[in-house]
Amino acid sequence: MRGAAVPGRPRAVPRGDASPALVRTRAIDALRGFALAGILPVNAFLLSGAHRRGHLGDGGLWADWLPALLVTTVLEMKFYLLFSFVFGYSFALTLPRGHAPARHVRRLVALFALGAVHAVVLFPGDILTTYAVLGVVLILVRSVSARTLLWVAGGLLVLFVGVLLAIGLWSLALGPWTAADIAAVEAGERALAGRYQQGPAQTILENARMSGVYVVGGLLAAPDILFAMLCGLVAGRRGLAEQVARQPALQRRAVLTGLAGGLPLALFAAVCTHGPLGREWIYVGKAANAVSAPLLAAAYAAGLFLLWRSVRGKRLCEALAVTGRLSLTHYLTQSLVMASLFTGLGLGLYGRWSGAAVLGLCVALYAAQVWISVLSCGRVPERPVRGPAEWLVSLVGGSRGVRRDGPGALRP
């Protein structure tokens, strides 16, 4: 019978009359795609070796120092925090309190395995394994009250900033870096570049060796990531995306407050990291950046909602939402492209590109990913095409708990 509900299948929602659940997933998909755009340059600087040439004392002011300054000020820590928030928000949508977590545990196991392979083969700075481990924490605390979760999240942020600041103050107490210290670091960077310019076997061995260093970094950053995930979990329970989307005045205040409070701290962090302040200021800068990151991430998210209110901005958000649905595939593709260019898996150009050239590559690559995502969505009316990585994880964990709508108009 035409128009009748099909047993076992959710009733279709007419396009343009989206249910609250679908509205929320649209907004979260767009935020996820947006966060992916900011994560790409940060990872690309690491994969290409451009981050090692970004200090003012290294020369190349316009081609290296300014791009590095821009990445640290605007992108670093802010977008992985935004992505972590979205991760927690999605958990609230797909795993309400009291529901059986077995399927999510299987998905997290698959994500951890995929991340381990990604770390050894393509990029030792992989974040998927960290997300998989912290995802288990989200399952364990899914029934904890929102008030308690927010107190824990605040404590984690204070802990993260405190550890970074303590390391920074200790570094300052040791005094300025000597010429011998800088020469030793530069020699190590040249040796690393040489290893990454060799063949695939040497690259994989180097990735495996560097993974241990990044594991320590992941443990250090875990409180910050979990802070954002817990905030996202609480926000998802309360449908914060819907509430914020209906209040443009609140969005504007969030943008202004976040930029006013976050940008000066982020710029100070960039100056500590890349000069003119000495290298002994790096961890003091990281502590300042950790404080600025939640402020700027909130401002970016509110700015995206404001952009959504215009006709052209709405089209851009539609494209970001489609891209966000394929975030895992795009994340892995970005690593594959960068590894093919800059390591022995491909051309071995590690350390040979300026920061400006790497930024240009990131813009081109992400634009191509958005275009491909939109094209794929247009060819499949009901839902976007999943990439191989999404298919692998969903094969282990089953279909997602919240139904995705088709490529119709988005409404935050």
Asked whether residue 187 is domain-assigned, the answer is yes
pLDDT of residue 96: 64
218: left (phi over 0), alpha (psi -120 to 50) or beta: alpha
Q: If residue 348 lies in a helix (H) or strand (E), which one and from where to where?
A: none
Asked whether residue 403 is domain-assigned, the answer is no
**What total of structural domains would you count in the chain?**
1
DSSP assigned state of 404: P
Other Cβ atoms less than 10 A from the Cβ of 211: the count is 18
> Which range of residues forms the domain containing residue 191?
20-396
Query: pLDDT (tens digit, 0 to 9) for every residue of the chain, 412 residues total?
Result: 434 443 433 333 333 333 344 445 778 889 999 999 999 999 999 888 887 776 766 655 677 888 888 999 999 999 999 999 999 998 888 876 556 677 788 889 999 999 999 988 888 888 899 999 999 999 998 888 999 999 999 999 999 999 999 999 999 998 888 878 778 877 877 787 778 888 888 888 888 888 777 788 888 889 999 999 999 999 988 888 777 777 888 889 999 999 999 999 999 999 998 888 888 899 999 999 999 999 999 999 999 988 888 888 888 888 899 999 888 999 999 999 999 999 888 888 888 888 889 999 999 999 999 999 888 875 543 344 344 555 555 544 444 433 343 333 434 4
Asked whether residue 409 is domain-assigned, the answer is no
Asked whether residue 369 is domain-assigned, the answer is yes
Asked whether residue 367 is domain-assigned, the answer is yes
409: left (phi over 0), alpha (psi -120 to 50) or beta: beta
Contact 348, 298 (CB under 8 A): no
DSSP assigned state of 19: -
Helix locations, 238-310, DSSP H: 240-245, 248-274, 282-307
Asked whether residue 372 is domain-assigned, the answer is yes
Asked whether residue 217 is domain-assigned, the answer is yes
What does the alpha-carbon distance between residue 276 and residue 318 come to, in Å, rounded to a whole number?
41
pLDDT of residue 131: 92
Q: What pTM did the predictor assign? A: 0.83
Contact residues for 55 (Cβ-Cβ < 8 A; gap 6+): 65, 68, 273, 274, 275, 279
What does the alpha-carbon distance between residue 292 and residue 269 come to, in Å, rounded to a whole number?
9
Asked whether residue 96 is domain-assigned, the answer is yes
pLDDT of residue 330: 92
What does the alpha-carbon distance between residue 50 and residue 285 come to, in Å, rounded to a whole number?
19
SS3 call for 218? helix
> Exposed (0-12), middle (13-18) or buried (19+): which is 35, by Cβ within 10 Å?
buried
What does the alpha-carbon distance between residue 109 and residue 205 come to, in Å, rounded to a whole number?
24
Helix locations, 122-199, DSSP H: 128-140, 146-174, 179-196
What does the alpha-carbon distance between residue 221 and residue 77 come to, in Å, rounded to a whole number?
10
Amino acid in position 99: H
pLDDT of residue 100: 61
The rounded radius of gyration (Å) of the Cα atoms in the chain is: 22
What does the alpha-carbon distance between residue 266 and residue 73 come to, in Å, rounded to a whole number?
5
What does the alpha-carbon distance between residue 326 and residue 363 come to, in Å, rounded to a whole number?
18
N residues, the chain: 412
Helix locations, 49-124, DSSP H: 66-70, 78-94, 102-121
pLDDT of residue 248: 84
Structure tokens at 188: 């190590």
Angle at 28 between CA 98 and CA 317, to 5 degrees: 165
